[in-house]
Amino acid sequence: MLPLEGIVVVALEQAVATPFASRQLADLGARVIKVERDGGDFARDYDATVNGMSSHFVWLNRNKESVVLDLKSEGGRASMHQLLAKADVFLQNLAPGAAARLGFGADELRSRHPRLIIGDLSGYGSDGPYRDKKAYDLLVQCEAGLVSITGGREEPAKAGISVADIAGGMYTYTGVLTALYERERTGEGSAFEVSLLDALAEWMGFPYYYAVYGGKSPSRTGARHAAIAPYGPFRAGDGSQVFLAVQNDREWRKLCETVLEDPELADDPRFATNPDRVDHERELTAAIEVAFAELAAQDVVERLDRAQIANARMRTVQEFADHPQLAERGRWHEVDSPVGPLRTLQPPVTAPGRAPRMDPIPSIGEHTESVLAELDEDPA
């Protein structure tokens, strides 16, 4: 039995953040009824790369039932209220105020359904000067300062994945789990909200403290670390790059002695402490790459492994998909979909004796008839 079996989630959701939260609840056994507008969640049409389906939609929507309702109609709203009367959790990420205008605001729902847990996700929150500002992932990354510290020295860059959406989805997910636990103790439902800016702001803790109390923002350093050195890519003699990370002065000395085979470098005053190494990062990189110049990348990796210095190779996404660690640990699974079986990763939290839930990805409105039939049989 999965931990959330018996929990019913109604998700009036679109795009990435709330679908990410509800999918994780579904992975744990919750019944997630995804309410879509006519035409469906617009993330269905982001691309058609997965045998005709959107890569975002495939990622975020397994284990769900799709119901199409017109919430601008009286009948659609009535069906939605019947669904909510039987639900434990209601999640929504419409534009601020839109759910309330349809009759599904937190205050109204709390009065009608006292045990219901309500999670509202928005871009910037339910008040403040940015309340009604459109919020897409890149734009929130900009407002949170993330883009200013990401990229190379010459040009900023956004993160390569939707980190604001993912952060918002994660805090919505944990907010639901917290509220379910609270309801077990009090018998009462509750309402909470998450904004993408608030969520990503939490993840900006290191650069915030570094900038506000240090007097300058972390530098854009590409794949290197702004506050730790050596930490990042270094070129080997065959032209390939090896990524390594040194966390303290003890490891730095070990790197010099065992990997670089230059113990005197450890005592160079330019590199004696981590702040010194950060201040002289270009000279440090040059010294390390001189030592690597006669070695192929694989030889460097073997030396680093023997010395127990953290390292990695930069894989492409295709190489990640074929990663030997994921394959050896059986992390891949198949999930059905309207376009046939698809290979997907299992949920990251594993527990002995617990099989993952891997139910299909729904087509638009696939479950409308069956779910509404349940309401007719048991009108709440």
User: How confident is the model over 266-285, as pLDDT tens digits?
Assistant: 999 999 999 999 999 999 99
What are 2's two structure tokens? 């999965």
pTM for the structure as a whole: 0.91
pLDDT at 355: 86
Query: Nearest-CA neighbor of 309 among 217, 227, 244, 216?
Result: 244
Q: How many CA atoms lie within 13 A of 279 on its CB side?
A: 8
Instruction: State mean pLDDT over 4-17.
Output: 97
CB 252 within 8 A of CB 284: no
The residues that are catalytic are 225
Torsions phi, psi for 310 (to 5 deg)? -60, 135
In whole angstroms, give the CA distance from residue 173 to residue 21.
Answer: 5
What count of residues does the chain have?
A: 380
- As a CATH number, domain 231-313 is 3.30.1540.10
Say yes or no to pLDDT of 165 above 80: yes
Preceding omega of 341 cis (within 30 degrees of 0) = no
In whole angstroms, give the CA distance from residue 21 to residue 297.
Answer: 40
Confidence category of residue 379, pLDDT binned at 50, 70, 90 = very low
Distance of alpha carbon 218 from the chain centroid: 23
Instruction: State mean pLDDT over 232-258.
Output: 95
Instruction: Give the sign of the dihedral formed by CA 311, CA 317, CA 320, CA 322.
Output: negative
The one-character DSSP state at 259 is I
Confidence category of residue 380, pLDDT binned at 50, 70, 90 = very low
Say yes or no to pLDDT of 319 above 60: yes
pLDDT at 1: 86
CB 78 within 8 A of CB 69: no
User: How confident is the model over 87-134, as pLDDT tens digits?
Assistant: 999 999 998 889 999 999 999 999 999 999 999 999 999 999 999 999
Query: Nearest-CA neighbor of 92 among 8, 5, 21?
Result: 21
* Range list of H helices, 220-328: 249-254, 274-279, 281-292, 297-307, 317-321, 324-328
Long-range (24+ apart) CB contacts under 8 A made by 235-239 are 235/289, 235/292, 236/292, 236/293, 236/295, 236/296, 236/297, 236/299, 236/300, 237/292, 237/293, 237/294, 237/295, 237/296, 238/296, 238/297
- As a CATH number, domain 8-204+324-377 is 3.40.50.10540
pLDDT at 365: 96
Query: Nearest-CA neighbor of 172 among 104, 211, 109, 122?
Result: 122
**What does the domain layout of the chain look like in residue ranges?**
8-204+324-377, 231-313
In whole angstroms, give the CA distance from residue 233 to residue 135.
Answer: 34
